[in-house]
Each structure stands twice: as structure tokens, then as C-alpha cells.
Homo-oligomer: A and B are copies of this chain.
């Protein structure tokens, strides 16, 4: 349910509505737009920490709300996702990330500036990570990616360096001033990963690992939520809703390719998800053309396509020597290729009225 306030209302009017909601066991979430404030309403959080049901809101509450002074109208949210929906929160959400290497010390994902995240698929060694971090930083990337915990389709594959990998990422951060994004795979690891990372990544295989979503929802860290490999747009936004419902509003979606019948590419990157998400939701969306295609020579054209379609950022795998990578070398750019990509990224960003934050 959404309460639309009258145009001239002030903070006191809003507080009145919030108090009314509280008194009826509901929670209100104000969203202050330029012209109007709207207040999203959810059922109260249940006993054992479970979020309250939307369905449970008594319909007569709506009528009572409409009688309050300064309330213009009350609308029901028609989508199954509520907090994630654009109806509920009409303005674009911008997620703040502390990034020492940029002039302001912080940046926003979801605004006019496009963010470049780059680094190795997997942290393999100090030398590999530092070489890559230095190189991508030099070219303008401000966020360093690198997996310390890696989901491997085979139990005999490399599963990452674990905490040691996290420590190397933290070292790279302090050396190059980049923010760090890395994957967390299970609820009990969340506190440890939070200690080292600036952004938590939920991988495609865990998009519906609900207890993990709950857990990252209870932190305040920005979360990049990758789309499940065969998730519909609605399921993806419902997964985001899990995180939002626990109180963490710093959710960034990431398109990384879906599964189709095609055999030449590893995945089929769904570029149309970008404008669709922008229509249905207020959350920022970034794109991963490395996972999205699985092929190095498709990374550049698909990066540009994602930008042209409105992506808020790119997450790109770069490796100093892709042919010797422990994982996913075939989809990693060389440092030279990343270097050639950057001016193209800037040109297309500019053509669609965006810029690339590099310092």
C-alpha cells in the first residue's frame, strides 16, 4: 500500500501518518520526491523476525488513511514485490560506496555516472591480484572485483583462497584506494566477508538462497545481487525484496546472462533486462559481460550495448595472463584489451548522456 501525501505537506504531517501506521501495527517508509512525498506501507514485522505480510493489511485501514489531513490518496501496490517496485519508490535509488581513490572519497551507483568494476575472476595470488588491480586502476576502474569464495560446478574444481583471498583484496584496496566487491556464499560467512569487502556479491546460484538473502539484508553493506541463470525478472525482484525487507536498502542488481538453447555462448546476455528493471524498479542495475557471454571477444561489444541500454555500471573480468587463469580464463580480458575498452566505454556513455567516474 502506498500513501500519496498532498503537495504542500510538511514533516509533521508525515510523522502523523507514520504514527498512525505504527498504532495499527504497520510500518511506513517515506520517499521524498521533488513535488510530493509518498509513504510505502508494509505489514509489521512478525514475531520471529519474519517480515510482515502485505496481504495482511486490513483494507479499511486504507479508508481511514484517506481521511487523514494531508493525505491525497492511497494506492495498492499491484506487483508482488513492494519495496523493490517503482510504484513504491518512484525516484531512482542511488547506492553510496566509499571509494578512497575518487576525488570525493565516495561515489554513487545509480546516478549519472557509470561505474567500472574490474579485476580477476578469482584471487589466485598476491602478485596476480596486485598486478591486475594496479593495471585496472590505471585505466580508470574504481572498484576491484575478485573472488575469494568461488562456486565451482565440480567439487574437484578450485573453490577459492577463502579468508586469505579476502586479506589480499583488503591489501589491494589500501594500496590502490579502490573499493572491493567479492562474493559471499553462505550465511555464516557474512560477518567475515563484511570485514574485508565494501560490496557483497550474491552469485547467480544463490539468488534464491533465502537465508543468505536474509543475512545480507541484516547488514548495511551494499549488495550486488546477480540474476539467477534462469530467473524471471519478477523472481529476481522478489529476491531483492528479501534483502530490502530486512532493512538493507543498498541493493544493486546485476544482469549476467540467462540460460537458453544457444550452445556457442555460455549464457545469453539479456540486455533488455536493463530498461525493464529501470521501468519496474528504482534499484540500480549493473552488467557483467564476462559471465554474460563467456567469451573474451564478446566482452567489448556487450559492454557497449549494456551502456547504450542504460546500465549503471560494468563488472569485467581482467587477468594479466588469461590463458593461465585458474578459472574462466576464456572470458577474461587481458590488461591491454581492458585498456582499449575504456575509451570506447567513455564514448558510448557520453552518447547516452552519462559519464564514467574514474577519479
Decide if B304 touches A352 in the complex (CB within 8 Å): yes
Decide if B309 touches A264 in the complex (CB within 8 Å): no
| Cβ of A207 to closest chain B Cβ, rounded Å | 8
| Stoichiometry, copies per complex | 4
Decide if B187 touches A188 in the complex (CB within 8 Å): yes
Residue of B nearest to A349 (CB): B351
Decide if B185 touches A188 in the complex (CB within 8 Å): no
| Cβ of A242 to closest chain B Cβ, rounded Å | 4
Q: List the one stretch of A105-113, A153-161, A168-176, A330-338 in contact with chain B.
A: A153-161
Given the contacts A156-B51, A210-B151, A229-B230, A275 and B298 also touching, CB distance less than 8 Å: yes
Q: Is A306 an interface residue (CB 8 A)?
A: yes
Q: Is A340 an interface residue (CB 8 A)?
A: no
Residue of B nearest to A294 (CB): B272
Q: Is A286 an interface residue (CB 8 A)?
A: no
**Cβ–Cβ < 8 Å partners of A96 in chain B:** none
Which of the four size classes fits the interface of chain A?
35 or more
Q: How far is the CA of A232 from the CA of B80 in the complex (A)?
A: 26
Q: How far is the CA of A270 from the CA of B242 in the complex (A)?
A: 29
Q: How far is the CA of A213 from the CA of B205 in the complex (A)?
A: 13
Decide if B211 touches A245 in the complex (CB within 8 Å): no
| Cβ of A132 to closest chain B Cβ, rounded Å | 24
Residue of B nearest to A212 (CB): B186
Q: How far is the CA of A151 from the CA of B263 in the complex (A)?
A: 22
Say which residue of B80, B156, B241, B270 sits within 8 Å of A55 (CB atoms): B156
**Cβ–Cβ < 8 Å partners of A245 in chain B:** 155-156
Say which residue of B153, B185, B211, B258 sits within 8 Å of A238 (CB atoms): B153
| Cβ of A235 to closest chain B Cβ, rounded Å | 6
**Cβ–Cβ < 8 Å partners of A55 in chain B:** 156
- Chain A positions within 8 Å of B, measured between CB atoms, are 43, 48, 50-55, 80-82, 151-156, 159, 162, 185-188, 205-206, 208-212, 229-230, 232-235, 238, 241-242, 245, 258-265, 268-272, 274-276, 279, 292-293, 297-298, 301-302, 304-310, 344, 347-348, 350-352
19 contacts between A and B (CB under 8 A): A82-B156, A153-B235, A186-B186, A229-B230, A230-B230, A230-B261, A233-B264, A259-B261, A260-B260, A268-B268, A271-B305, A272-B298, A272-B301, A275-B301, A301-B310, A302-B309, A305-B306, A305-B309, A308-B308
